[in-house]
């Protein structure tokens, strides 16, 4: 799909169909026919006027995320037609409110389909999208501003779709070693450094918590360390991703219905890969390390057990009380590795960590947790900038007591069935060095990472949660 900008008014541009985003029904070119057809301009409402080859899409308010959703609706609607080109005006002079960026992202995210396993694949007929540099009222924008926004939005949206595809792929196609190969391919294509640690290397690094989780799998566990290193970085950031390529729950076996879609448990790793892809293509002046724990949690004679006591990389001992609380064990060792090998200004981890986060915040919102209020606020602003829903959950000393173990340094689950998203993050906090406490932020993406119905500009399945919000945060890093 080719997206370009022309310095002409919309109606001087040649294309097969026109898309108009309507904030209301007043003063529209086709106001009469629209009113006859009952068009109210409610959010994502569509009205196609065949005679004028024009699709109207409603937008409830002048907010970028509503335009992002409307753009996705437009591209999905037009995919049912046979048009190969369309044109769109500007709705925000010089992209001051981010609406042009949102429209590009909405189009690319909305056009995404995952048909890898379909015997018949439907090709999107739309090959070219032309944006006018002017609003419908003939107000012009600077070409260089629009071009810069186009490159950014195009790169970020495609990286998000890249992460989505990896999430959607089956456990037979993406297992730990295969995920390492994916990372190596990305490194080769984008000029990144890639280091992969196999099981003997993990043992040498004393990463026994991570090794224990993958013990019953026929696929060896892998630690993936990707590095993007510009010449003069403004900052160094470590991104740590949970890469459970499949999670059966282990001996604390999940119910059958809960096991379906557990390919999603690698979403944190896929988020890290998507961020690394976009950051390197945008040539951001931030040094980024992506550390991924790629593991499969299975059942077998060699499976780790409730009642086991594991020793993590930092030397802390962990009493296992539930083998389905495995992601935090993998992250504990990966966070230890990242802190030992990388002197970072910030440490972010991403994980589909707890069902409790869905209970607290619903399916569509990422829970963020950490010690720095300033860091939480800055991530929250990037959530607002990108339309990714973010909400902070608070630590407190009373919940910390629920992780106490009588036989080890800490238990891997709380002794109470409440506050599970927070206690999981507080477990991870035990593996963050004191000097790094205010540099660390935990993203529980269990809700939005994978939803089995389309929502907004997200299709069924993986959403790439965390990719766009982190890239926006990196762009604003001073």
Mean pLDDT in consecutive groups of 10 residues from the start of the chain, 478 residues? 96 97 90 94 97 97 97 96 97 97 98 95 92 96 97 98 98 98 98 98 98 98 98 97 98 97 98 98 98 98 98 98 98 98 98 97 98 98 98 96 98 97 98 98 98 95 98 94
Distance CA 329, CA 213 (A): 8
Quick check: is 349 in a domain? yes
Give the DSSP letter of residue 286. Answer: S
The number of distinct structural domains making up the chain is 2
Whether residues 264 and 204 fall in one domain: yes
Among 240, 235, 234, smallest CA distance to 440 is for: 240
Residue 478 is predicted with a pLDDT of: 77
Whether residues 236 and 350 fall in one domain: yes
Interhelix angle 420-429/327-341, rounded to 10 degrees, is 30
> How is residue 72 written in tokens?
């996705």
Query: The pTM is what?
Result: 0.97
Q: Which of 120, 141, 162 is the last residue of a domain?
A: 141
Residue 69 is predicted with a pLDDT of: 98
Whether residues 248 and 358 fall in one domain: yes
Residue 338 is predicted with a pLDDT of: 98
Distance CA 219, CA 150 (A): 41
Give the DSSP letter of residue 458. Answer: B
Within a 10 A sphere around the Cβ of 178, how many other Cβ atoms?
Answer: 17
Residue 385 is predicted with a pLDDT of: 97
Q: Which residues pair with 350 in a beta bridge?
A: 241, 443
Quick check: is 156 in a domain? no
Residue 27 is predicted with a pLDDT of: 84
Domain that holds residue 7: 2-141
Residue 26 is predicted with a pLDDT of: 83
Quick check: is 160 in a domain? no
Quick check: is 470 in a domain? yes
CATH code: domain of residue 126: 3.40.220.10
Residue 287 is predicted with a pLDDT of: 98
Whether residues 116 and 223 fall in one domain: no
Whether residues 128 and 257 fall in one domain: no
- What are the CA-CA distances from residue 251 to residues 221, 298, 322, 416 (Å)? 18, 8, 8, 20
Quick check: is 24 in a domain? yes
233-235-236-241 Cα dihedral, nearest 10 degrees: -110
Whether residues 75 and 135 fall in one domain: yes
Contacts of 451 (CB under 8 A, 6+ apart): 363, 364, 458, 460, 461, 463
Question: Catalytic residue numbers?
Answer: 254, 328
Residue 12 is predicted with a pLDDT of: 96
Quick check: is 321 in a domain? yes
């Amino acid at each position: 799909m080719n997206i370009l900008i022309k310095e002409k008014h919309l109606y001087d541009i040649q294309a097969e169909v026109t898309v108009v985003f309507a904030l209301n029904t007043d003063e529209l070119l086709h106001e009469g026919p629209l009113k006859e057809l009952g068009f109210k301009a409610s959010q994502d409402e569509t009205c196609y006027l065949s005679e004028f080859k024009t699709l109207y899409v409603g937008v409830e308010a002048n907010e970028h995320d509503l335009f992002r959703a409307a753009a996705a609706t437009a591209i999905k609607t037009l995919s049912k037609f046979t048009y190969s080109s369309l044109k769109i005006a500007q709705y925000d002079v010089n992209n001051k409110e981010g609406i042009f960026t949102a429209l590009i992202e909405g189009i690319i995210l909305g056009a995404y389909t995952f048909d890898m396993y379909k015997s018949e694949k439907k090709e999107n007929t739309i090959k070219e999208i032309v944006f006018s540099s002017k609003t419908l009222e003939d107000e012009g924008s600077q070409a260089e501003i629009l071009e810069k926004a186009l490159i950014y939005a195009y790169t970020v949206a495609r990286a998000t779709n890249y992460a989505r595809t990896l999430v959607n792929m089956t456990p037979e196609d993406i297992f730990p070693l295969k995920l390492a190969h994916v990372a190596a391919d990305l490194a080769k294509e984008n000029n990144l450094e890639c280091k992969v640690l196999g099981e003997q290397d993990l043992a040498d690094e004393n990463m026994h918590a991570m090794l224990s989780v993958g013990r019953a799998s026929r696929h060896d566990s892998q630690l993936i360390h990707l590095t993007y290193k510009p010449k003069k970085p403004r900052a160094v950031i470590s991104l740590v991703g949970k890469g459970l390529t499949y999670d059966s729950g282990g001996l604390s076996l999940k119910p059958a219905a809960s096991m379906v879609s557990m390919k999603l448990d690698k979403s944190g790793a896929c988020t890290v890969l998507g961020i690394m892809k976009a950051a390197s293509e945008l040539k951001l002046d931030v040094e980024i390390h992506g550390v991924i724990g790629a593991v499969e949690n299975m059942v077998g004679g060699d499976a780790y057990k409730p009642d086991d006591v594991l020793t993590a990389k930092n030397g802390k001992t962990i009493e296992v009380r539930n083998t389905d609380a495995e992601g935090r064990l993998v992250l504990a060792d990966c966070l230890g590795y990242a802190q030992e090998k990388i002197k970072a200004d910030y440490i972010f981890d991403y994980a589909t960590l707890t069902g409790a986060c869905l209970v607290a915040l619903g399916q569509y919102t990422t829970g963020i947790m950490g010690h720095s209020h300033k860091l939480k606020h800055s991530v929250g602003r990037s959530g607002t900038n990108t339309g990714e829903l973010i909400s902070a959950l608070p630590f407190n000393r009373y919940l910390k007591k629920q992780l106490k173990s009588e036989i080890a340094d800490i238990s891997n689950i709380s002794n109470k069935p409440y506050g599970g998203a927070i206690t999981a993050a507080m477990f991870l906090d035990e593996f963050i060095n004191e000097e790094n406490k205010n540099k660390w932020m935990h993203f529980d993406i269990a809700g939005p990472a994978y939803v089995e119905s389309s929502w907004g500009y997200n299709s069924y399945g993986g959403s790439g949660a965390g990719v766009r919000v982190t890239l926006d945060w990196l762009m604003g890093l001073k």
